[in-house]
A = this chain, B = another copy of it.
């Protein structure tokens, strides 16, 4: 991130922002029109569509209820792996991982024989729409729940970019803003809390009231969604909280565009035990110990609420024959939805082949994929496992506070189209 005083100051000049507005902005082969109103794009982490409908039906989210109608509330497909980083970076760039490179929290570097965390902007192969708008003179602000995303989303961004998790560490020099806690009027929340997401919304409202960015991106965390099913009191309370902030953003004149990084499903049996397919165990039995390397790209330093168990895995194998044997073995295992080779997986899911293993494995809706039992610490799970990552979590909401126009019926909508729709397909 290259935020500086001068850059922030430039973003604040009306003339520069106006220039961006009139001319539009190009990023990753897409054109974004001017918007006379501020655009606030929101990524609600793990927002299965049912959460919105249940909260609306409960009467606790009256503003969201008003958006749930034809042409305002759409369904879109997220990126598979249906994980947070690949989808946030896709939304930020308006492009799939085959373009921007971020296909998980880490990948296996075969040449270096190392598992590489992709938490540094240097792993991104595309710039963000945010940076493009800022470079064109627009005022841009990005607020994330966790700090892991902030660095990626802030790549080359001349604007405001901070996380709720480390809101107290934001300085004008490094984050384009200081005194965030004072601005928001909330203390730094726990990284495992609903308040971490509320902080993001509260900051968004305060920024719109004060700085009034031309483009703002708010990205929450799925702490609540991992624990609480749609319609549960805890979930409805979360969406009720969100509802008030969304209404306020609307009242402040913003184009509000809400989508999700991925859906969320229960991944446990009737007794509450997680339904796990342990792939490393299986591969070791099938091919010999250590012949295969199973990568779970959901794994990151924050695994308490899902135990690093998701519905997407990729396997590095020693030979094409081993890959065939692996798929033949997986066909016979309960809980697997699909296992296909790298080339087909990368073509269909739009992933970067150099960061994907020889075989991609996706589990069924009620199942997750693990490596081996001893490598998953499930002691932090205080509720039956809910998680994501697969095709069953691919459909996500995409809501706007005005009607979406001129979308060809045949077009497959993606969550990373949210900025395209907000700038090009709604009336500001």
Contacts and interface: CB of A to CB of B under 8 A. Distances in A.
A15 B411 CA distance: 66
Contacts of A340: 340, 344-345, 347-348
A218 interface: no
Nearest to A365: B395
A341 interface: yes
A335 B410 CA distance: 8
Contacts of A339: 348
Interface in A295-340: 324, 327-328, 331-340
Interface in A259-280: 277
A334 B412 contact: yes
A413 interface: yes
A391 interface: yes
Contact of A412 (B333, B350, B413): B333
Contact of A327 (B335, B341, B347): B347
Contacts of A410: 277, 333-334
Contacts of A277: 410
Interface string A369-410: 000000000000000000000010000000000000000011
Interface string A410-421: 111100000000
Chain A contact residues (Cβ within 8 angstroms of B): what range? 20 to 34
B333 A338 contact: no
A331 B324 CA distance: 25
Contact of A409 (B334, B341, B343): B334
B331 A348 contact: yes
A332 B333 CA distance: 31
B344 A331 contact: no
A331 B391 contact: no
Contacts of A328: 347
A242 B336 CA distance: 32
A332 B391 contact: no
B343 A341 contact: yes
Contacts of A347: 324, 327-328, 331, 340-341
B413 A334 contact: yes
A121 B332 CA distance: 28
Nearest to A281: B410
Contacts of A338: 338, 348, 391
Contact of A337 (B334, B391, B411): B391
Interface string A48-82: 00000000000000000000000000000000000
- Which 7 A-B residue pairs are closest in the complex by CB-CB distance? A340-B344, A344-B344, A334-B412, A327-B347, A341-B344, A333-B412, A332-B412
Interface of A: 277, 324, 327-328, 331-341, 343-345, 347-348, 350, 391, 409-413
18 contacts: A277-B410, A324-B347, A331-B350, A331-B412, A332-B411, A333-B410, A334-B410, A334-B412, A334-B413, A336-B412, A337-B391, A340-B344, A340-B345, A340-B347, A340-B348, A341-B347, A343-B344, A344-B344
Given A334-B409, A338-B348, A340-B344, 12 more contacts: A324-B347, A327-B348, A328-B347, A331-B348, A331-B350, A332-B412, A335-B412, A336-B412, A338-B338, A340-B347, A340-B348, A343-B344
